[in-house]
């Protein structure tokens, strides 16, 4: 086989357009996001100007067709944006991730033409989206949800609550999963499009978190919340299918976030060990340190290739579910390991907020929890292997 770039496996290669896009997002993240990272983390609040600039850059509707104001790009590009922003800040990264790989994707796949016209056009230009599945008693057991939806003839009425909803504070539109008939179990679950202004809907408490602190994680409250009949996403009773299939795609986005966070920590550690001297020479000259660096770089590269491969499979219309689970499993573990090693290489400095690696470590931990815990990914992979 030839060693020319054209002959290498396409699943792990980036095109010239994708490389240019990646570089543009990296430059944007460095100039527009990085100066605000520390302040946002301390205040646990997203900078509103950054959100506006994300829209201006076209990063909030990457896969949205141009006719609805989006960039008309592919899923891989969405993952590249999530990765490059994660390299600077995990909070902004997950905002972009939920917007593109969960909410927008759900509209693209399941929305009616009228819903796409109304919501995708707004989400590409000004509206932040959120994906509301989890509840206090419904985490990994996603279909034990208790949010109730009643058919009132000309509308649906929702009662109950959601918990741990990313983008809750900033979002203007929410894809909410509720059960129309508890006796039917998961077959009663239906997806509803809920706007922030709907009567009976309110954003509740914002969680005080370990990491991704500027990303809002909120409770949602529904008290006789009125939802128009036309705001059912997909079919009544098919919400479980929408939830599963959307999360399968979203897990690749989380994988991209994790490799971005790991990359940021790795670069910080690399620069530090080159300049920090002990025993009369830079830390980078010690073989033990070099070996740690090599381990970090190898883990990062393996995780990146797994994420890119899963994204490519999704873009190609091929089966990507197992690859997505593997990518999220491996990248989230790698991110925690790499960010932890980065702290070790910084020594006592790494344990202080004066240096960036402690934040990368805090931001990485969530990767093994949201959009399917590590155990859920293991279960998915094992089931698919046993079913072969």
- Positions annotated as catalytic residues are 371
What's the sign of the alpha-carbon dihedral 277, 334, 215, 373?
A: negative
Q: What is the DSSP string of 368-386?
A: GTTTS-HHHHHHHHHHHHH
**Torsion angle of alpha carbons 374, 377, 383, 388, nearest 10°?**
-130
Structural element, H or E, at residue 174: strand 173-179
φ/ψ of residue 201, rounded to 5? -110, 135
Q: Distance (Å, rounded) from C-alpha 172 to C-alpha 182? A: 28
> Distance between CA 361 and CA 254 in Å, rounded?
15
SS3 234: coil
Per-residue DSSP letter, 226:
E
Integer Cα distance of 149 and 190 in angstroms:
8
Rounded-to-integer distance, Cα 130 and Cα 174, Å: 5
Give the closest residue to 328 by CA, choosing from 276, 368, 274, 381: 368
Cβ-based burial of 134 (10 A; exposed 0-12, middle 13-18, buried ≥19): buried
* Rounded-to-integer distance, Cα 284 and Cα 273, Å: 5
- Spell out the residues 6+ positions from residue 243 whose beta carbon is closer than 8 angstroms to its own: 133, 142, 143, 177, 189, 191
Scan for tokens 């202004």, then name that residue: 197
Tally Cβ neighbours within 10 Å of residue 23: 12
Asked if 40 and 214 count as a contact pair (C-beta separation under 8 A), the reply is: yes
Q: CA 120 to CA 70: how far, in whole Å?
A: 8
> Distance (Å, rounded) from C-alpha 303 to C-alpha 300?
5
């Amino acid at each position: 086989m030839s060693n020319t770039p054209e002959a290498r496996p396409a699943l792990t290669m980036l095109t010239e357009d994708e490389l240019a896009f990646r570089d543009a997002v990296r430059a944007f993240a460095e100039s527009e996001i990085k100066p605000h990272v520390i302040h946002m983390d301390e205040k646990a609040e997203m900078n509103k100007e950054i959100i506006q600039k994300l829209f201006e850059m076209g990063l909030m509707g990457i896969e949205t067709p141009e006719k609805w104001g989006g960039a008309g790009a592919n899923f891989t590009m969405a993952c590249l944006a999530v990765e490059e922003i994660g390299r600077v800040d995990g909070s902004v990264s997950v905002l972009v991730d939920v917007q593109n790989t969960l909410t927008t994707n759900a509209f693209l796949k399941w929305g009616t033409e009228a819903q796409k016209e109304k919501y995708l056009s707004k989400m590409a230009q000004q509206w932040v989206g959120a994906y509301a599945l989890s509840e206090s008693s419904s985490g990994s057991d996603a279909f034990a949800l208790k949010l109730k939806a009643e058919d009132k003839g000309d509308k649906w009425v929702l009662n109950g609550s959601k918990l741990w909803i990313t983008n809750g504070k900033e979002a203007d539109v929410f894809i909410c999963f509720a059960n129309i008939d508890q006796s039917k179990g998961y077959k009663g679950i239906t997806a509803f499009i809920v706007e922030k202004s709907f009567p009976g809907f309110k954003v509740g408490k914002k969680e005080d978190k370990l990491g991704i602190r500027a990303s809002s994680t909120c409770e949602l409250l529904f008290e006789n919340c009125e939802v128009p009949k036309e705001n059912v996403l997909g079919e009544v009773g098919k919400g479980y299918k929408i939830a599963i299939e959307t999360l399968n795609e979203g897990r690749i986005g989380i994988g991209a976030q994790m490799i971005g966070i790991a990359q940021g920590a790795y670069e910080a550690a690399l620069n530090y060990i080159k300049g920090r001297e002990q025993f009369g020479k830079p830390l980078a000259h010690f073989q033990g340190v070099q070996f740690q660096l090599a381990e970090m770089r190898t883990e990062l590269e393996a995780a990146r290739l797994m994420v890119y491969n899963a994204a490519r499979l999704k873009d190609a219309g091929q089966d990507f579910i197992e690859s997505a689970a593997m990518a999220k499993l491996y990248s989230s573990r790698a991110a925690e390991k790499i960010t932890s090693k980065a702290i070790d290489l910084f020594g006592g400095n790494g344990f202080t907020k004066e240096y960036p690696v402690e934040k990368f470590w805090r931001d990485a931990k969530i990767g093994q929890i949201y959009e399917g815990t590590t155990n859920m990914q293991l279960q998915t992979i094992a089931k698919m292997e046993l079913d072969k």
